[in-house]
Structure 1
Amino acid sequence: MKFSFVSVLALLAAPSANAFAPSTFGVQRSPATSSRLSATAVETKAFSKLPATIKPGVVTGKALLDLLEHAKTAGFAMPGVNIVGSNSINSCMEAAKAYGGPIMVTFSKGGGQYIAGKAADNTDDKASIAGCIAGAKHVREVAALYGVPVVLHTDHCQKAWLPWIDGLLKASEEYYAAHGEPLFSSHMLDLSEEPLEENIAICKEYMEKFAKVDILLEFELGVTGGEEDGVDNTDVDSSRLYTQPEEVMYAYEQLSQVPNAMFTCAASFGNVHGVYAPGNVDLRPDILHNTQKYMKEKLGCEDDKPMKFVFHGGSGSSVEDIQYAIEAGVIKMNIDTDTQWGFWDGMRAYEAANRDYLQAQIGNPDGADKPNKKYYDPRMSLRSGEEAMRDRLIQAAKDLKCENVLD
């Protein structure tokens, strides 16, 4: 199970406790960017229940920060969904349109490679980079058609995989130069296998790069158990599944020193990738509540939830645990295992219902000379998968209190 922005209006004056309160962070922007954001603020609201900065389509920068801050205050979290191609991307956006809320489309390194094609040359992560960029461009071309806010995100990136993120950052820098916003909304760095100081030092280095093009950083503390898309923590020591408040505070203070920093924290509170039998996972959302209290006291701020958390490994979690975590400032929950099953289950049901029409090109119960093309057309079974995945995401949105949060 498992699923996690800080803005500013001027450069940080000094790393004092008050300087780290979310409401005091400063953002240094170019005159063109500042003008653009000022104009946006006075535009007619696209969604009656959301800040005016948020429009249909891909959400980045200040609008993304506003979206997450609003989610934290209003008490809902968006689904963050791992995808592997246009079918699962479209399921995400169709679901968001149906449940009336935002959604995060998440690319993994392996998912990017799959989008590019498993036979493509992946030397130096070329296919993984190209596939993620191609998927992001697909989202940007069609997202506004669904009339919902969509966040373009990437999943776990361990230390050895940083060249993958470097390639995606280069693409966002080029997109920013042309369009005034990054290609991707946010990236996750999962350096939880490294010592805390090294983890955050590398995150800070990347935060400085991300901040220049309005990209949000999601960082991980502690370890999410289980296995997902090349990240295998099935044998990790159980003590590493629970993040300590002091670790979150340290990361918060370090990253907040970066001008224009926007970040969320994937803290571990017993999260495990995958779905397991009851009793095999000890989820502790109270860790997030205690961390928020600790940080509020240390920062001396009025915000009861200074940190925006994300919940990795959310598949299979109880609704009670999910909603208690949201009360602690979780603004996004990752979901992959359940949506993978949903997609497959839709295709399985299609095959079962049409089996007699899928055994040959010609010949079925309606006649020996009857063609079956309309049944074995890949779009038919894939569409059934899309619909089933959509329906699973609609249920997830309900669990996350993300229904009807736009208008």
Structure 2
Amino acid sequence: MLVNTKQMLEAAKKGNYAVPGANVFNLESIKGVIGAAREKNLPLMVCLAEVHTPELGIEETARIVKYYAKESEQEIALHFDHGFTPELIRQAIDAGFTSVMVDGSSLPFHENVEKTKEIVEYAHKKGVTVEAEIGHVGGGESYLDPEDDDTMLTTVEEAKEFARLTGVDSLAVSIGTAHGEYKGTPHLDFERLQEIADCVEIPLVLHGGSGSGDENLTKAVKLGICKVNICTDLMIAARDYTKEGYGERSYYDSMTLAQEGIKDCLKHYYDVFLTKNPSEK
């Protein structure tokens, strides 16, 4: 069933688990992540990032995911991830996405607030939930060790003020993870996360889950993270499942293997995130 993320993430917060935000980039990835949710009988956020819309369009994704969600008993949210362009975020809302992320994390604080507030107002009128980011999760090549330089990390004060001023439904925080493949060793600032979780009432989100380490991610979930984004590891799994014997195999069989790799990868992360079915007592 297709749902928005408000009750999904509030249940995760109450149950002390996280829902995976699985990024999709083609039909095989959509079928793979939804297949994992079905086999585990657990909730899922299917995420389309703005940077992937040239290959997988907004309207196209909405139609495909709505079809599979209608056929599924599990709660499935359709989320527009890392929306930088307001026009595209509104397009996603109008196309039937049930959740959107406004990414103004690279902007000055006041500009991030204003940009986010505009989308919150538009989305909430249509029953769509909004995620935003304060602090900045960079790419693997720009990973910052919080022991050396914490200028990109979320502060408790900014997190509290940003949530108050914008009215967002969930908040992505930067505690040392990075997008893409890591160029260094991830060191997560758990003390910072605990302080933020103690002061911010809305569900907290962690981006850059791929490669951050299973133990690190489970600990982050126990400290209050309610959703973890996974993208790079899904792509790596698809590649690894098709790498051996690729030249001797049909393209059709390779697509099937890629889908299987994505499904198995996400099933693993369901365990790492301690995900539960909210309908099961």
TM-score (norm 2): 0.91
Instruction: Indicate yes or no: 2:265 matched with 1:392.
Output: yes
Q: Quote the offset at 1:166 in angstroms.
A: 3.1
SS of equivalent residue, structure 1 residue 243: coil
**Per-residue Cα deviation, 1:264-304 (whole angstroms, up to 9, x for no partner):** 10111111112336x63221132121123244xxxxxxxxx
C-alpha separation between the residues in 1 aligned to 2:126 and 2:61?
20
C-alpha separation between the residues in 1 aligned to 2:254 and 2:230?
22
> Map of 1:284-323 to 2, 5 A cutoff?
284-295=189-200, 306-323=201-218
C-alpha separation between the residues in 2 aligned to 1:79 and 1:235?
24
Report the equivalent of 1:380: 253
Residues 345 and 405 of structure 1: CA distance in aligned 2, closer, same or farther (over 3 Å): farther
Report the equivalent of 2:117: 204
Report the equivalent of 1:343: 238
Q: Detail structure 1 runs of 4+ shifted over 4 Å in the superposition.
A: 232-237, 403-406
1:350–1:384 Cα contact (<8 Å) kept = no
Report the equivalent of 1:120: none
Determine which of 62, 67, 79 is the counterpart of 2:20.
79
2:101–2:130 Cα contact (<8 Å) kept = yes
**Per-residue Cα deviation, 1:13-46 (whole angstroms, up to 9, x for no partner):** xxxxxxxxxxxxxxxxxxxxxxxxxxxxxxxxxx
* 2:63 counterpart letter in structure 1: K
C-alpha separation between the residues in 2 aligned to 1:406 and 1:285?
30
Q: Quote the offset at 1:233 in angstroms.
A: 5.2
* 2:153 counterpart letter in structure 1: Y
Determine which of 65, 70, 73 is the counterpart of 1:147.
73
Residues 109 and 292 of structure 1: CA distance in aligned 2, closer, same or farther (over 3 Å): closer
Q: Quote the offset at 1:77 in angstroms.
A: 0.7
Report the equivalent of 1:248: 159
Q: Quote the offset at 1:405 in angstroms.
A: 5.3
- State the Cα RMSD in Å: 2.2
> Map of 1:6-85 to 2, 5 A cutoff?
57-60=1-4, 64-85=5-26
**Per-residue Cα deviation, 1:152-205 (whole angstroms, up to 9, x for no partner):** 0111123xx223223323x24xxxxxxxxxx11111111111111111121111
Percent of aligned positions that are identical: 27
Determine which of 63, 73, 78 is the counterpart of 1:137.
63
**Per-residue Cα deviation, 1:112-149 (whole angstroms, up to 9, x for no partner):** 2112xxxxxxxxxxxxxxx1211111010122323211
* 2:61 counterpart letter in structure 1: G
SS of equivalent residue, structure 2 residue 209: coil
SS of equivalent residue, structure 2 residue 106: coil
> Map of 1:173-252 to 2, 5 A cutoff?
183-226=96-139, 238-252=149-163
1:82–1:108 Cα contact (<8 Å) kept = yes
Q: Quote the offset at 1:327 in angstroms.
A: 2.3
Residues 193 and 322 of structure 1: CA distance in aligned 2, closer, same or farther (over 3 Å): same
Q: Quote the offset at 1:332 in angstroms.
A: 0.8
TM-score (norm 1): 0.64
> Map of 1:99-178 to 2, 5 A cutoff?
99-115=40-56, 131-158=57-84, 161-169=85-93, 171-172=94-95
Instruction: Indicate yes or no: 2:267 matched with 1:267.
Output: no
Report the equivalent of 1:5: none
Give unmatched runs, 5+ long, in structure 1.
1-56, 116-130, 173-182, 257-261, 296-305, 359-374
1:245–1:291 Cα contact (<8 Å) kept = yes
**Per-residue Cα deviation, 1:45-74 (whole angstroms, up to 9, x for no partner):** xxxxxxxxxxxx2112xxx32221111111
Q: Quote the offset at 1:314 in angstroms.
A: 0.4
C-alpha separation between the residues in 2 aligned to 1:208 and 1:387?
40
C-alpha separation between the residues in 2 aligned to 1:390 and 1:79?
12
C-alpha separation between the residues in 2 aligned to 1:238 and 1:187?
30
Residues 350 and 188 of structure 1: CA distance in aligned 2, closer, same or farther (over 3 Å): farther
Give unmatched runs, 5+ long, in structure 2.
none
Q: How many residues align?
A: 278
Mark the structure with the bigger radius of gyration. Answer: 1
C-alpha separation between the residues in 1 aligned to 2:77 and 2:86?
21
C-alpha separation between the residues in 2 aligned to 1:317 and 1:405?
26
SS of equivalent residue, structure 1 residue 310: strand
C-alpha separation between the residues in 2 aligned to 1:329 and 1:401?
12
1:101–1:406 Cα contact (<8 Å) kept = no
1:93–1:148 Cα contact (<8 Å) kept = no
2:144–2:176 Cα contact (<8 Å) kept = no
1:111–1:132 Cα contact (<8 Å) kept = no
